[in-house]
Amino acid sequence: MFYLYIMQELDILIPVGPSDFTVIEDVIKYAQKNIIHRNLYILTNKDNFPTLMNISNVILIDEKTAQYPFTLDDIKEKTKYKSRAGWYYQQLLKLYAFQGIPEILPSYLVLDADTVFLNPTTFLEDGKACFATGDEYHSPYFQHMSALHPSLKKYYPKSGVTHHMVFQTHYVNELMYMVEEHHRLPFWKAFLACVSEDDPISGASEYEIYFNYMFHNHGDKIVVRDLKWKNAASIDFDNEGYDYISVHNYYRKIQVCYPFNNASIEFHNRMEQELFQSRWFSSRPSNFGPHSLTPEILLDWMKDVVIDCKDYVILFILTDRCAHTFNNAFYAGLWNVDDFIALCDDNLLLVKNVEEVRTIFNAIQNIGELGLNYII
C-alpha cells in the first residue's frame, strides 16, 4: 500500500547551470505554484549554491558529491567534442537521478531550467506518467537510439522532446538493464559510445529514448496528452493560453541587444520549417541534419530558396543557427563575424547594419562563454 501511495506523488528535479540564473527563480516559482509535488531538488555545481541560496523550499544537491556513477570529467573523456560534454552530462544526470539522489521518489519530474509552467498541470494519473509531445525531428537522435538497442526506434509520430519529462525508477532501471545486457557496458558508457561521429554535437536525446521506450513497451502505463506550449522570448508577454513555455538561453541573451520577441521567434520557426522541408534540403545525404549546417551551406540555401528575405535570413542565421548550434564552432574559429559578413557580401546578400550584426555575434559568443557545464 505504501508503494502504491508514493506512486501517486512525485518530486521535481531541475538541473541548473550558470546560464540559467536569469530565469530559474521564475521557473521555480511557477513550478511550486502549479505542480503538485513533494520535494523540489536543484542539481547543480556547489559553486552555484550562493546564487541559489535565497530561493525558498528547494533542496540543493551538489552534482559532484551526489551518488552518480560518473563525473563530468568521465563524460569529457568519452566525448569527441569536449565543449558538448556538459550537454550529454546533464542528460545522464536526469536518467540516473534515482541513483544520484537516493531519496528521490520513484516518480520524478525533470524540468529543464528554462521551462515555466504557467498553469496548474498534472503529471500523474492513477500512477501513470503524463507525457506531452512536440514537433521536433532530428534524425541523429533515432540513429543513436537504434545503436543503443535494436528495439529502440521512433514509435510515436510526434516528438518526446518537450523540455520536461516524468521518469519512473522502475522503468528507467528496466531500460538501462536492457541496454547493458546488449552492450555489456554500464548504460552511461553505452549511451556515449553510441553517439555517431557524423553528429557528435547533438547526437542523442534522453527524452526521445525514454518517451519511445515507454510508448512501445508500457503504453498502458502512460498518458499522452496535448499541452499547449512554445519556445518564447520572455515570460512577461504574449503567453496567454499556453500551459507552459521554454525561454531558451540564446533567446534571452539575444533580446538584450536586438528587438527580439515572440513574433520574430515564430518567424525563425517558419524559416526553419521551410529549410528542412525544402527540396534543397531533402536532396542532402540521409545523415545530414540541422546540426550539419555551415555558413556556406546556409548561404547556398538562402540563394536558392529565400533570396527575397535577405535581412531576415541574416538574422535567422545569426540567432537560430549560430546561437543554438555552433557554440562549439566559435571556439574552433569556424564562425568569424568579418568572414561571415564578407561571405554575405560576396553573394550579394548585403548586411545593411554591420555594427548591429557585430553586436549580435558578440552576444552569441557570450552565450558559449557563460554556458559552462550546461550548453543548450
Answer yes or no: is 376 within a domain: no
Q: Calculate the alpha carbon distances from 155 to 146, 160, 161, 196, 212 in Å.
A: 12, 10, 14, 21, 6
Answer whether residue 340 shows pLDDT above 90. Answer: no
Same domain, 140 and 8: yes
- Amino acid identity of 275? L
Answer yes or no: is 277 within a domain: yes
Same domain, 282 and 340: yes
Task: List for the chain the helix, strand, coil content (%; round to 5).
Answer: 50, 10, 40
pLDDT per residue over 294-316, tens digit each?
555 555 555 544 434 444 444 44
- Which domain does 355 fall in, by range? 249-371
Same domain, 90 and 217: yes
Chain Cα centroid distance, residue 9: 25
Same domain, 227 and 128: yes
Cβ count within 10 A of residue 69:
13
Which tops the pLDDT comparison, 318 or 222? 222
Same domain, 137 and 270: no
Answer yes or no: is 242 within a domain: no
Same domain, 205 and 254: no
- Amino acid identity of 336? N
Mean pLDDT of the chain: 77
Q: Which of 14-18, 146-150, 163-167 has the lowest mean pLDDT?
A: 14-18
CA distance 106 to 91: 18
Answer yes or no: is 126 within a domain: yes
pLDDT of residue 46: 94
The enclosing domain of 152 has a CATH number of 3.90.550
Could you give the percent of the chain with pLDDT greater than 90? 51
Same domain, 202 and 296: no
Same domain, 211 and 64: yes
pLDDT per residue over 110-125, tens digit each?
999 999 999 999 999 9
Same domain, 226 and 253: no
Count up the domains in the chain and report the number.
Answer: 2
pLDDT per residue over 231-275, tens digit each?
876 776 678 889 999 886 655 544 433 344 555 555 555 555 555
CA distance 4 to 100: 23
**317, three cell numbers:** 542565421
Same domain, 84 and 200: yes
pLDDT of residue 136: 85
Q: Which of 80-89, 328-337, 345-354 has the lowest mean pLDDT?
A: 328-337
pLDDT of residue 13: 98
Give the position of cell 529514448: 209
Number of helical (H) and strand (E) elements in the chain, helices listed first: 19, 11
DSSP class of residue 323 equals I
pLDDT of residue 22: 82
Same domain, 26 and 160: yes
Which residues, including other chains, have CB under 8 Å from residue 127's CB and lie 6 or more apart? 4, 7, 8, 107, 221
